[in-house]
Structure 1
């Protein structure tokens, strides 16, 4: 039974976490006259939106993209980007692919197979969507992966040689979702449709967007940094009208409502902080969703040696090295590599930098190899690991100083306890009710005055994105407001 809300006075809402979802929730509440206190464990706001200047200029260590714009619906993050004059970039459609021996694929074959691959992925998403509508997805075995679907379809459409290349190309899907494609659930492929829409790259960085999202909370909320919540006491006793938060420093905060906007990974590792334990279905929903491991490595050069004509956007936006067999010392598992061509960004955001997206076991290997090491040791490892790939780009000459990296920057979300040592939610094989799990988290525990928001509790089409976090916080803020109308 949900306790009645006192409609007299201004309720005091506590928000755990000052990421995008928590800040957006706070803004909704503050505009309606609520008192809001945000407890943030970091020494800054923004959560996984943060920047670094290690390359000599500012880059996003967290999100780079705005997904699925141009669908006829106003996209909240794209709208904020436009309002803040944040520089955006539309990549060209060109792609450069090296096969497993390190030889460049002919452009005609690259175009043909890339087009076919996206057609098959789109078909898989549609198949999973239809199955969901017809029978809740149960016609698709929970063990069936997107990889399985691609292998079946490629066997119908291609000969052995091209089929093998297309299957290897499909492995780069991991750079979208953060884990290998054979872990990606076919039953819930429809929940990754944001990866198939129009996408723009934030050419500058997310700082102006974050400033706009946090503008009202920074002015009107009580934001307490360096404050880690270790206990959430929320009873379902209808006579209890408060939620208590205890912090690592021993402080106690009492609120009329509490919104937990902490990342999925943090929730999974800290379920014991909820007292009493969360309801079984909510607890299982949090456990059932999976966490991806996407990391990024920036490599900055003295100049963009791989571009012969800097006046034209002629170089492919994206380059892939498929299942490399020529880097057995550094990459014996043959993890594929993907890099984005940052010199193609418009001035002043154009820099001779390559951005590698690494995922799954590859990202875990790299982060574990560099974490805690000296800068010299980190740089040496990264140079050795990525040399087999950038050294195959046109214009490379080992004697040319312009071809020797000048600076490196690697994210280490794997070692970040506050985000649960991972990146964002992911829908993997074995999941039986991923969509229902998301809905259960979105519902929260209103009877305990306890709510949850974040990219893992987002509208289905935006799960795992900044927009998803933003809309999730908005949704919970509006639900709380409705209770007190």
Structure 2
């Protein structure tokens, strides 16, 4: 073993690209963080503040990862994550947003029929452009809740897992009184479509056993009115961030890690925090030497990655009602659609079309212009005289090589414990990101909390090896004051 370790150590020294990196390895604790999304920046910030020498590598030409605030319209638009789910002091991210004084637009209270930004005001239309009465929508919502309760009974009865869609079919077989026809059926499909949007996946792939294992924090949902970038910039201030550095190889050994980027340069450190999206890990574009353990590879393989995109339409005038959501009900979830009305939340004349699952994958095959036209066509079903958009933006989270998906979800037959397996360190490699959060997968606060955890695990492990661990030093984050967001906007 000693000879192997010495050989690895000599290899690290021989591949140093400059003497400053050698000093990082020999004189003080050093960490390389891979991925400048929310989890990676949080881990880097925390370790930097703990006096570690931190280098943050990011494959994109910007920070943020799947959090991307775009300013091309002249005001902020989040093309990725845009909500704080759980506006209260139980959310680990809420206190940070509160201290920054960033406004939130509250889109719902605690009770979430849709498992997303629940509707306080909405307008739904059928395929012919007729508005669906709101009392009918509310009545179907109660039926949807009853159906979900019945699926829990099925979950208790069946030993084998199944999809949400299959469970709902069994409910209808047992409870024909819950079957709906005509427009009522179409509204029910719209509710299911919104549920699919929460997981960014189709109902026939979502696990009955695992779909509700996420911890939903109290306080409702808040839209980041000014976008998430101000939070990211605050966390990133003063960090050594190297953009356009795509990692291709990670070598780990007892004495440290060796990271190779796509131009052949090599960086070394005591440890690494890996905070790249699950879709990138699935693609095997990063080579691990030695291979990751089987249990880690299984977690990477078996956690699902869904796709939800945004097609943002900017108009010169408002022609839609002053509601939070607009939607089209239809016979299948694939044909249903919904738009977020940013004008109500931010004052900007913007509607955001949000396809997910198979529909999102199909739309990603289109050029941006065709995708924007498709979204506008859906809008015209509700408003035949709608004026054409003056600008548009289209996200591509599924085909973007830096993400290869939007966020994680539980697939049929796979354990929810896989999220924890993905988080568990391997030697001096520490893992972070929304897909490593067993309590808050798929969320920004999940990414944030795992960044904190990975940083603390890394700090303890590295200082222990350096013989510098102070048993009387409080764990990172213990002295952070807790507060709730200061400005809650109801624009």
- Measured against the shorter chain, the TM-score band is 0.7 to 0.9
**CA 1:411–1:164: 2 relative to 1, 3 Å:** closer
CA distance in structure 1 between the partners assigned to 2:395 and 2:64 by the alignment: 16
Give yes or no for the alignment of 1:321 onto 2:338.
no
Q: Give the superposition deviation at 1:178.
A: 0.8
In the alignment, which residue of structure 1 is the partner of 2:430? 451
Q: Give the superposition deviation at 1:169.
A: 2.8
Query: Which structure dedicates a bigger proportion of its chain to helix?
Result: 1
Q: Deviations over 1:179-237 (max 9, x none)?
A: 1122211110123453997111112211111122223xxx2x432222111111114xx
Give yes or no for the alignment of 1:81 onto 2:59.
no
In the alignment, which residue of structure 2 is the partner of 1:406? 390
In the alignment, which residue of structure 2 is the partner of 1:273? 287
Structure 1 contact 425–456 (Cα < 8 Å) conserved: yes
Q: Give the superposition deviation at 1:363.
A: 1.3
**CA 1:182–1:324: 2 relative to 1, 3 Å:** same
Structure 2 contact 257–270 (Cα < 8 Å) conserved: yes
Note the 1:45-84 alignment, pairs <5 A.
45-70=63-88, 73-84=89-100
In the alignment, which residue of structure 2 is the partner of 1:292? 306
Give yes or no for the alignment of 1:141 onto 2:160.
yes
Unaligned runs of 5+ residues in structure 2 are 6-25, 108-118, 464-468, 470-491
In the alignment, which residue of structure 2 is the partner of 1:134? none
Structure 1 contact 76–467 (Cα < 8 Å) conserved: yes
In the alignment, which residue of structure 1 is the partner of 2:480? none
RMSD of aligned residue pairs (Cα, Å): 2.8
- Counterpart among 188, 193, 196 of residue 166 in structure 1: 188
CA distance in structure 1 between the partners assigned to 2:160 and 2:66 by the alignment: 34
In the alignment, which residue of structure 2 is the partner of 1:478? 456
* SS of the residue 2:41 aligns to: helix
TM-score for both structures, normalised by structure 2 = 0.79
**CA 1:300–1:122: 2 relative to 1, 3 Å:** farther
CA distance in structure 1 between the partners assigned to 2:290 and 2:131 by the alignment: 59
In the alignment, which residue of structure 2 is the partner of 1:93? 120
* SS of the residue 2:124 aligns to: strand
In the alignment, which residue of structure 1 is the partner of 2:466? none
* SS of the residue 1:461 aligns to: coil
TM-score for both structures, normalised by structure 1 = 0.80
Q: Give the superposition deviation at 1:140.
A: 4.7
**CA 1:253–1:272: 2 relative to 1, 3 Å:** closer
* SS of the residue 1:181 aligns to: coil
Structure 1 contact 228–248 (Cα < 8 Å) conserved: yes
**CA 1:294–1:126: 2 relative to 1, 3 Å:** farther
Q: Give the superposition deviation at 1:16.
A: 1.0
Give yes or no for the alignment of 1:393 onto 2:415.
no
Q: Give the superposition deviation at 1:95.
A: 2.6
Unaligned runs of 5+ residues in structure 1 are 132-137, 308-314, 326-332, 371-377
CA distance in structure 2 between the partners assigned to 1:295 and 1:52 by the alignment: 14
* SS of the residue 1:234 aligns to: strand
In the alignment, which residue of structure 1 is the partner of 2:36? 18
In the alignment, which residue of structure 1 is the partner of 2:257? 243
CA distance in structure 2 between the partners assigned to 1:197 and 1:323 by the alignment: 31
**CA 1:255–1:405: 2 relative to 1, 3 Å:** same
**CA 1:383–1:266: 2 relative to 1, 3 Å:** closer
In the alignment, which residue of structure 2 is the partner of 1:441? 422
CA distance in structure 1 between the partners assigned to 2:298 and 2:37 by the alignment: 24
In the alignment, which residue of structure 2 is the partner of 1:233? 251
Bigger shift: residues 273-282 or 111-120? 111-120
* SS of the residue 2:139 aligns to: helix
Q: Give the superposition deviation at 1:322.
A: 2.3
**CA 1:192–1:150: 2 relative to 1, 3 Å:** farther
CA distance in structure 1 between the partners assigned to 2:334 and 2:164 by the alignment: 20
- Tell me the matched-pair count: 425
CA distance in structure 2 between the partners assigned to 1:428 and 1:196 by the alignment: 25
- Counterpart among 103, 106, 130 of residue 103 in structure 1: 130
**CA 1:98–1:340: 2 relative to 1, 3 Å:** same
**CA 1:358–1:125: 2 relative to 1, 3 Å:** farther
Q: Give the superposition deviation at 1:122.
A: 6.8
Q: Give the superposition deviation at 1:437.
A: 1.4
CA distance in structure 2 between the partners assigned to 1:424 and 1:383 by the alignment: 23
Q: Give the superposition deviation at 1:160.
A: 3.5
Note the 1:197-236 alignment, pairs <5 A.
198-215=220-237, 219=238, 221-235=239-253
* SS of the residue 1:80 aligns to: helix
